[in-house]
Structure 1
Amino acid sequence: MIIGTAVNACGLAQALLMARSVKRQMPWAKIALCLVEKFPAHTLPDVDWIFTAREISEHLGLPDFESHMFKFNSLQCGVAMKGRMLAYLLESFPFEEHVVYLDPEMYALQPFHEIVHMLENRDVVLTPHHLEPSSPGDCSREIGTLADGTFHSGIVAVKNSPEGRHFAKWWMKIASGDFEGEPSGMFKDQPYLNFAPAYFNAGVLRHPGYNLAFWNLHENGRKVFRVDGDFVLTHQVPLCCVNFSNFLGLLESCMNQYVHDDGAFRQLWSEYQHELSLSRSENPSPPWSYSFFYSGETISNETRLRYKAALINRKPGGNPFSLSNQSEF
């Protein structure tokens, strides 16, 4: 099994915690990291292979790398490379049976036996954001999930089969940001996964121990307990993988609403924060190297949006990083 992730230098501290957690639980697994920066990465602990986003794109024969990267901001750099990373790993390691994409915020607490078992009969495995419907008279979570996507793109498992490779190339292309009317918001790659069970031999992993995150802490089946040093969920279900994304402080906000002050999840979060603090002290985060024009001017989000619109309607010539915020597209 290969576990792949895509991250810029700012997220390396979390990516290394993810890699360490995977090696603890699955020492046989290989870790591949796509660094979305202009500079190469030095050797990193628990990471078997490091590739740059440019290297992956060139290997896949994808043109206009600069145009592709210019469409995304630093928070979306993973969106720019998830599909490409999966396609690259499936192609470059043909004898590796399973490839799993994990966001850098993910943290493994058990081996991924359920994923491996499901991939015996499926070519793609997805995990839903929610496993329990909202209470009667309230469909706010369902409505919000319609925008963000039913399935979480932070954990996507693929069999190295013709169908699995077909899925990776489809996701890579449709989430590229090259089409008019694409989903809005930060997570533009996720809504397309809604189609995967219809288009491909994809399975839905309904195990509550995967993908525990701020958006499902309220669910009755995802209450966290500590038993003999291990973290388990309601009915003694093993907790396998946690998403420790605290985007806009949403994890801490949901903890305050749904987790007791002495709850086991707070213990787990505290332990993770301690590890993360140490990792960040060892891996300082420079500004994202794709945030700037070659002149050193910071690229504005408005400029990126104008450029993306121009790409959809026509093909601007030249390298966009050689221009400025005042350039017309």
Structure 2
Amino acid sequence: MIISTVTAANYLHGAKVMARSVKRHMPDAKVVVCLLEKRMVQEATNVPWFDEVVLAKNLGIPNFPQLMLKYNVLEAICAVVTLFYSYLLNRFPSEKYFVHLDSDVQVMNRFDDLIRVLDKKPIVLTPHLLASDGFNFTTTPYGVYNAGFSAIRRSDEALRFVQWWGERSYDLGFVDHFHFANQKWLDLAPGFFEVCSFRHPGYNMAFWNVHERNLYLQDGVYFTNGKPLCFFHYSKSWLNDYFQTNPDKGSPLYQMVSGYLHESVELGQHALSQIPWSYNYFDHGEEVESLRRQVRSNPGLAFRQPNPFKGSDHSLLSDDVVALKAMVNQRWVAAEDQGNLPLCANRYHAGPWEKFRLIHLDGNKVAFQSLANHKYVTAEHGGEGELIANRNHIGPWETFQLLDCGEGRSAFKSMANDKFVTVNLEGPCTLLPSAAGVGWNQLFDISKL
């Protein structure tokens, strides 16, 4: 069995408590941790209860930096939870059972009942509430099922489910008036997939359902409603208020919560909780929050650089609109036919098709976005073809090295093939990266408009 969790560095103490509790009751289970940070932190290494730690950026998630720029830490963790399943299914081909636990969970017993259910159903979810008399409309924004736990058995049905869930959490994993990160999508899952709504009271007991579950301690084992307590979900927002509203120090719940908090402190809570989330900052230290708010309403901003965290607010929001004049024939470069045809240096005036947004990347690297169709200029076929504005994202083929050649003249070397962009004077004067050096055919004037 694989037990997985996703966490940022500031909650590694919780992940440690969770992992240690897994090993205490199910030493044969593998605990795999996904760390949502730019770099591995020392506190995540050499943890005896972690079988494997992987950085989220290494999961193969498409456009991962852009995803981190779009979401805050809670939304990002929830999105990666759903995408982590696909990685784990490939990483551990001989494993049959996969269980996700949030890092604020403590395991109290073996998951034998869960395995028996998984042998019958490929997907298992737990509802927030088991009794209708505890329901009120204040709970509806959070959905029916709690995403802090989910379990799958390797199967085509489970694979379809995690792909479906992952796609929706990737695109629409916001915490807002309509979504609740990856959680409310689970309301739809039983209608689309073969899902077991697992009603065992010992799974996913939490502060929001303690009123319907009678917790007691018997012979050193916690039980709830006559069944063994298998795990308790210490949601942080509820945990902070617990001791203010529950003064009964003799209750089993009070003792269990106190033990959990003591263990969290023992495993480094005070120091770890102070670690800032690395994806809240550009690589040079500037905060990204103001830009993140704009990316939510204009996702295209995140794609103005291959890795937006290497830039800044200015580089991603700047609107340096330019026109390029070829020195060899004194004509302006156009995204011909509104970008449907290759770039040509054949215009006497700079109109809409001749306008480009100049995007500054790392060092002296740049990219061009045509304002004719809002696509990025690429060196087609890895530099074997002409330049054309037809790409949605910036990659190596869309990246150029800008060289200042003096007297207001510039040259551009394509990163696709390390050749300089050249005006082919035959035919319509198309641009292609074909020259080993800089001559008159490789020089351009960049005019800000």
TM-score tier (shorter): 0.7 to 0.9
Given the two structures, how large is their TM-score scaled by the length of structure 2? Answer: 0.65
- State the Cα distance separating 1:43 from its structure 2 match: 2.5
Match of 1:158 among 147, 152, 175: 152
Partner of 1:191 in structure 2? Answer: 184
Are 2:196 and 1:203 aligned? yes
RMSD: 2.4
Aligned equivalent of 1:309: 297
Partners of 1:217 and 1:255 within 8 A in 2: no
CA drift at 1:186: 8.5
Query: 1:147 corresponds to which letter in structure 2?
Result: P
Deviations, residues 181-221 of structure 1 (Å, cap 9, x unaligned): 985488410000111111111101101111111111221xx
Which residue number in structure 2 is paired with residue 42 of structure 1?
45
- What's 2:86 paired with? 87
Structure 2: tracts of 5 or more residues without a match: 319-449
Structure-2 residue corresponding to 1:275: 263
1:263 aligns with 2:262: no
> Which of 206, 223, 233 is equivalent to 1:243?
233
The alignment partner of 1:218 has SS state of: helix
Is the alpha carbon distance of 1:225 and 1:123 closer, same or farther for their aligned partners in structure 2, counting shifts above 3 Å?
A: same
User: Aligned equivalents of 1:102 and 1:213: distance in 2?
Assistant: 13
Shift in CA distance, 4/63, structure 1 to aligned 2, threshold 3 Å: same
Q: Which residue number corresponds to residue 292 of structure 1?
A: 281
Cα pair 2:302 2:308 within 8 Å, conserved = no
SS, match of residue 167 in structure 1: helix
Residue identity in the other structure for 2:208 = W
Counterpart of 2:217 (choices 216, 226, 230) is 226
SS of residue paired to 1:128: coil
Q: Which residue is 2:337 aligned to?
A: none
After superposition, residues 99-110 of structure 1 pair within 5 angstroms as 99-110=98-109
Contact 2:295 2:302 in 1 (8 A): no
* Structure with the higher fraction of residues in helix conformation: 1
Query: In the alignment, residue 54 of structure 2 is paired with which amino acid?
Result: F
Q: In the TM superposition, what is the alpha-carbon distance from 1:133 to its structure 2 partner?
A: 1.5
Gaps of at least 5 residues in structure 1 are none
Q: 2:165 maps to which residue?
A: 171
Question: CA, structure 1 residues 258+128, in 2 after alignment: closer, same or farther (shift >3 Å)?
Answer: farther
Does the Cα contact within 8 Å between 2:16 and 2:49 map onto a contact in 1?
yes
Q: Residue type matched to 1:200 in 2? A: F
Whether the 8 Å CA contact 2:172–2:179 is kept in 1: the answer is no
Shift of 1:178: 4.6
Higher strand share: 2
1:162 positional shift? 1.0
The alpha-carbon deviation at position 159 of structure 1 amounts to 0.8
Q: Which has the higher contact order (CA 8 A, sep 6+)?
A: 1
1:61-140 alignment, distance < 5 Å: 62-134=61-133, 140=136
Shift of 1:47: 0.8
Larger Rg: 2
**CA displacement, residues 1-54 of structure 1 (integer Å, 9 cap, x when unaligned):** 000000011111110110010111111100000011111242322111111101
- Structure 1 runs of 4+ aligned residues shifted over 6 Å read none
Match of 1:13 in 2: 13
Q: TM-score, normalised by structure 1?
A: 0.87
